[in-house]
Amino acid sequence: MSRLFEPWSLGQLSLPNRIVIAPMCQYSAHDGTPGDWHRVHLGHLALSGAGLLILEATAISPEGRISPQDLGLYSDANEAALADLVRMIRSFAPIALALQLSHAG
């Protein structure tokens, strides 16, 4: 049997399997803030049965975005919207979440 479906742990992180959904830039944010597309897209992926979902490249400053539509974590509005997104995902799926921090410049 493949080890892909076996649990895996690293420190305090325990995953039910070794399937990881890699970060994929969606270029759908507005001023760095996630919107309805992120709720639908990430909510769907969270229900996939994977052990870990990594959110797309998230810029630490507006100047560090890959494109104007990238996610950001550089304002209170960004932080609040990402927190709401995480709460929504966690209300439906027990999947572990990670975030890819980025700076393109």
> Region 72-78: what's the mean pLDDT?
98
pLDDT of residue 75: 98
Structure tokens belonging to residue 99: 């975030």
pLDDT of residue 1: 64
Residue 102 one-letter amino acid:
S
pTM value? 0.93
Q: Among all chains, which residue has been given the structure tokens 């999947």? A: 95
pLDDT of residue 56: 97
pLDDT digits over 7-54, tens only? Answer: 999 999 999 999 999 999 999 999 999 999 999 999 999 999 999 999
Query: What is the average pLDDT value for the chain, to the nearest integer?
Result: 97
CB proximity list for 78: less than 8 A, separation 6 or greater: 31, 32, 33, 71, 72
> Region 63-84: what's the mean pLDDT?
97
| Higher local confidence (pLDDT), 69 or 2 | 69
